[in-house]
Amino acid sequence: MSFEPAVAAFCCNWCGYSAADQAGAAKLEYPAGVRIVRLQCTGMVDPYFVLRAFERGYDGVLVVGCHFGSCHYKSGNHQAREQLDRVAPMLQALGIGQQRLLMTAASAAEGPVFAAKATEFVELVKRLGPSPLREVAR
Amino acid sequence: MTAPRKVGVFLCHCGGNISDVVDVRAVREFAERQEEVVLATDTRFMCSNEGVCRLQDEIRKRSLDGVVVACCTPKMYEDLFRGKAAEAGMNPYLLEIANVREQCAYPHRHEPEKATEKAKGLVLAQVEKVRKLRPLETKTAAVAPGVAVIGAGITGIHASLLLAELGHKVTLIEKSPTIGGNMARLVKTFPTDDCAMCTLSPKMNEAYNHENIELLTYAEVTSAKRTPGRFTLTVTEKPRFVTDACVGCNKCTEKCPVSTAKAPTQVPSEWEMGLAKRKAVYLPFPSALPQLWTIDADHCFYFQRGGKCRICAMVCPAKAIDFTMAAKERQVEVGAVIVATGFQEYDPAPLKHLGFGRHPNVVTQMQVARMLDSMGPTHGAVARRSDGKPATSVVMVQCVGSRGTPGDPLTHEYCSRVCCMVAVKHASLIRKAQPDTEVYILYNDLRAYGKGFEEYYTRSMTLGVKFVRGLPGSVRREGERLLVDVEDMLTGRRLEIPADLVVLSAAMEPPPVDGLLAALHLDKSPDGFVKEYHAKINPTETAIKGVYVAGCAQGPKDITDSISQAGAAAMSAAVFLGKGEMTLNPIVAEVDPALCRACDRCAEVCEFEGVRVDPERLLAVVDETACEGCGKCAVVCPTGAITVRQFRKEQVLASLDAMAPMAVMP
């Protein structure tokens, strides 16, 4: 069976999560390996959440928030960006690779953007192959 | 360890939307096997009366202290199910939604097996989260009676009147000496050519005389304090130096030496958009309300020359001049606030090629509105400012300061919406009053979008208004006249149109109200206007509960739309006030005093003043009425002392782990 990546998608309640809802409501398709965790804001994304996801065998981590300038809480997505910029080198050092972590934006109106970005990211992770930690996790 | 939880799982078929894709029975059997799940059941429609009754029955029968409803997005029915759970005696915050429709059945409908496996993961994620949830207490706060309306233009007046009629006490606060706002300057209004003052004046009078409206003119909100359900506004009333004894005889203005021919001080009249001068003691316009004269201390010789001039005091028959008057501060306590601060006209001077500010015969539409007023500075004649000769050729230029290139610091990117019709109106009025005057409108796109606008526009063409598609490259002086250089985009010809008067349709832009917005914690949208809660479905609410926005404060709009929005804002405020109490969102940050070491990191990242360190107790303290629950603080806290309820680390990780590849085995 071909490799189907598992991706943890941390979505903010206002944009990312709503975009995913909109994608669904519009019957847009994206790979089933995308698992959404609903947060109030991407500003809630703790570097530890990312590390924990890989620890539990996810092959990629996607963070979907509001576009810069339209964060519901003003600057939560900026903080997320900073936190993820800190965690990316760690992933590199751990041999997981920082490409497996992606932060992106999709407004509540951008269902197609969510579906496209999620699909694109899963394709990327597919090319990268299973996370090196996945076997360890099992 | 505490007693085991009793979690119920309710799976919805959504009439086939879910069950045609997901094998609901397999998911139910999977859910039944999970730890602490005491019930898993499925229903055709969970949101139906039958589904909701089932939910309530099971909560009562089995004393559930955790519920997962697997159905559509929580944005649809989370509130409904939580409310129903609360009625059945369960803490509503122990209920979570597994979004198996939008996140599973819909996007994966061509892969039913994968969808079923994913649905199991989604359900388990919420079961695991619910097992970690703690009941939350909802607090309510009483909402203070009364509403403050800031800005007494047509929007503020209309909103105030509606609320006052409903019996609410309204404090209407206006920063200039009179109510009426920009509409009072307009002479006529499109698309009916009604006299602006004839429609506005009765409303001004009604507001002025209404027993439920207290009017504070020449007053500004200087600070605001928010506690649950109550806003305390500090309003500074500027001194008029004229007491209520004023009888309106105008003797002071007649004798005031400021702006007389010989006087060194010439004060442009704000009301006349600088086309006329005013005295230092003045009434902004004849039907201003209140009919109280005002001394402008910045230009009055008494204040500027150490008390030497007292002419107005000497001629006043009512002894109403009082130079000792001082600014007064007062506190206004209300439950709701409507921001109706309107707009100001864009200053086109930075657009050098149009010559505004260099050539006196380049004016704005607002100035032409004043010229068209028979009581105005030119007594209704549209004339050259340079020599007062009637204009025989008028060229109007659209989109001045509007629809600029994104990122251009000199212009606005947005469309000001009203300028097309303002130009059509003024052009038509000029053609009617001065049939020998040629009027050109140089436009980019002509937007006649409102009721009756297209007909109005068509009628202007029959009146002989000439439309040229293209915006001018330059406006230069040629002898007594101006020459407007423009390429007609429809014919490709370059035209040089001689003009006595060039009229710029300048953008509507936000007035300088940053201080007020900061005091009320309101945001601006990228265009600089007050940011509404949701541009589509909550255009009059703001992110601050109890604060509403209406009229041009929210974005450029015409009088019709301003009135409509004023009504909507008044209704929203009335509903909010009418309930008498508000529920406080319990999903906010919480501090564990045992872990907090008062480092202040949480307060540094907070955008809402939702948390601060109490220097005496050396402890971060959350203001539950200000905290929005975004969780930035939880990430930067070095000890993990601060977390957002319902999004504690263990709660988020429980759902992350439950959906992980190692947790959901095929």
Q: What is the mean pLDDT of chain B?
A: 95
> Nearest to residue A46, comparing CAs of B606, B438, B2, B650?
B650
What pLDDT shows up at residue B666?
Answer: 34
pLDDT, one tens digit per residue, over A31-56 is 999 999 999 999 999 999 999 999 99
Q: How far apart are CA A101 and CA A88, in angstroms?
A: 7
Mutate to test the interface with A, among B652, B664, B665 (most CBs of A within 10 A): B652
Q: Are B25 and B42 spatial neighbours (Cβ–Cβ below 8 Å)?
A: yes
Q: Which amino acid is at A73?
A: Y
Which class would CATH give B7-136? alpha beta
Q: How far apart are CA A113 and CA A67, in angstroms?
A: 12
Mutate to test the interface with B, among A2, A62, A72, A79 (most CBs of B within 10 A): A79
Residue A123 reports pLDDT greater than 70: yes
pLDDT-derived band at A1, boundaries 50, 70, 90: low
* Strand spans (E) along B238-380: 267-268, 277-278, 281-282, 294-295, 328-334, 336-339, 344-345, 362-364
CB-nearest to B656 from A40, A56, A115 is A56
* CATH for B589-645, options being 3.20.20.210, 3.40.1190.20, 3.30.1330.50, 3.30.70.20: 3.30.70.20
What pLDDT shows up at residue B665?
Answer: 41
Question: Chain B 592-651, CB below 8 Å of chain A: which residues?
Answer: 605, 607-608, 628-632, 634-636, 644, 647, 649
Largest separation between any pair of C-alpha atoms in chain B = 97
pLDDT-derived band at B522, boundaries 50, 70, 90: confident
CB-nearest to B107 from A29, A35, A48 is A29
Residue B37 reports pLDDT greater than 60: yes
> Nearest to residue B59, comparing CAs of B87, B36, B100, B31?
B87
Mutate to test the interface with A, among B109, B527, B656 (most CBs of A within 10 A): B656
Q: How far apart are CA B638 and CA B195, in angstroms?
A: 65
**Which chain A residues contact residue B14 at CB under 8 A?**
none
Whole-model pTM: value is 0.78
> SS3 breakdown of chain B: % helix, strand, coil, rounded to 5?
30, 25, 45
Q: Does B108 contact chain A (CB < 8 Å)?
A: yes
Q: Which residues contact B226 (CB under 8 A, 6 or more apart)?
A: B232, B520, B521, B544, B625, B626
Q: Are B293 and B255 spatial neighbours (Cβ–Cβ below 8 Å)?
A: no
Q: How far apart are CA B431 and CA B425, in angstroms?
A: 10
Q: Do A137 and B75 touch (CB under 8 A)?
A: no
The CA-atom distances, in angstroms, between A123 and each of A11, A17, A59, A117 are 19, 21, 11, 10
Q: Does domain B239-325 have CATH number 3.30.160?
A: no
pLDDT, one tens digit per residue, over A8-26 is 999 999 999 999 999 999 9
Mutate to test the interface with B, among A22, A35, A66, A75 (most CBs of B within 10 A): A35
**Which chain B residues contact residue A7 at CB under 8 A?**
none
The Cα angle at residue B330 between residues B243 and B225, in degrees rounded to 5: 155
- What is the distance in angstroms between the Cα of B386 and the nearest Cα belonging to chain A? 46
What pLDDT shows up at residue A70?
Answer: 82
Burial class (CB in 10 A: 0-12, 13-18, 19+), A136: exposed
Residue B543 reports pLDDT greater than 90: no
> Quick one: closest CA in B to A51, which residue?
B653
Q: How far apart are CA A49 and CA A62, in angstroms?
A: 11
Average pLDDT over residues B383-400: 96
The Cα angle at residue B360 between residues B355 and B362, in degrees rounded to 5: 50
Q: Are B584 and B625 spatial neighbours (Cβ–Cβ below 8 Å)?
A: yes
What is the three-class DSSP state of B135? coil
β-strand partners of B11: B42, B70
Burial class (CB in 10 A: 0-12, 13-18, 19+), B196: buried
**Which chain A residues contact residue B103 at CB under 8 A?**
20-21, 24, 36
pLDDT-derived band at B281, boundaries 50, 70, 90: very high
pLDDT, one tens digit per residue, over B71-106 is 999 999 999 999 999 999 999 999 999 999 999 999
Average pLDDT over residues B292-297: 96
pLDDT, one tens digit per residue, over B176-233 is 999 999 999 999 999 999 999 999 999 999 999 999 999 999 999 999 988 889 999 9
What pLDDT shows up at residue A135?
Answer: 67
- What is the distance in angstroms between the Cα of A93 and the nearest Cα belonging to chain B? 22
pLDDT, one tens digit per residue, over B580-619 is 999 889 999 999 999 999 999 999 999 888 999 999 999 9
> Quick one: closest CA in B to A41, which residue?
B630
CB-nearest to B656 from A27, A53, A137 is A53
β-strand partners of B474: B485
Q: How far apart are CA B79 and CA B148, in angstroms?
A: 31
Q: Does B545 contact chain A (CB < 8 Å)?
A: no
Q: Are B485 and B493 spatial neighbours (Cβ–Cβ below 8 Å)?
A: no
> Nearest to residue B632, comparing CAs of A89, A70, A74, A11?
A74
Q: How far apart are CA B466 and CA B443, in angstroms?
A: 11
> Quick one: closest CA in A to B126, which residue?
A37
> Quick one: closest CA in A to B525, which residue?
A70
Q: Do A75 and B628 touch (CB under 8 A)?
A: no
Report how far apart the first and last C-alpha atoms of chain A are (Å, whole number): 18
pLDDT-derived band at B1, boundaries 50, 70, 90: low
Residue A61 reports pLDDT greater than 60: yes
Tokens representing A10? 């941390």
Residue B145 reports pLDDT greater than 60: yes
Q: What is the CATH number of domain A7-131?
A: 3.40.50
> Quick one: closest CA in A to B17, which residue?
A25
Residues of A contacting chain B (CB within 8 angstroms): 6, 8, 18, 20-21, 23-25, 27-30, 32, 35-41, 43-49, 52-53, 56-59, 69, 72-76, 79, 83, 115, 134, 137-138
- What is the distance in angstroms between the Cα of B104 and the nearest Cα belonging to chain A? 7
Which class would CATH give B147-238+328-342+510-579? alpha beta
Q: How far apart are CA A111 and CA A104, in angstroms?
A: 13
Mutate to test the interface with B, among A36, A133, A138 (most CBs of B within 10 A): A36
- What is the distance in angstroms between the Cα of A107 and the nearest Cα belonging to chain B? 13
Tokens representing B321? 């001049």
* CATH for B345-509, options being 3.30.1360.70, 3.50.50.60, 1.10.10.60, 2.70.210.12: 3.50.50.60
What pLDDT shows up at residue A77?
Answer: 96
**Which chain A residues contact residue B75 at CB under 8 A?**
18, 21
Cβ burial B62-101 (10 Å sphere, 16+ → b, else e):
eebbbbbbbbbbbebbbeebbebbbebebbbbbbbbbbbb
Q: What are phi and psi of B602, to 5 degrees?
A: -60, -45
For the CA atoms of B139, A65, B112, A28, what is the dihedral angle to 10 degrees? 120
The CA-atom distances, in angstroms, between B30 and each of B24, B25, B55, B101 are 10, 8, 19, 18
> Nearest to residue B8, comparing CAs of B64, B53, B49, B50?
B64
What pLDDT shows up at residue B664?
Answer: 41
Residue A138 reports pLDDT greater than 80: no
Low-confidence winner among B145-154, B297-306, B533-542 (lowest mean pLDDT): B533-542
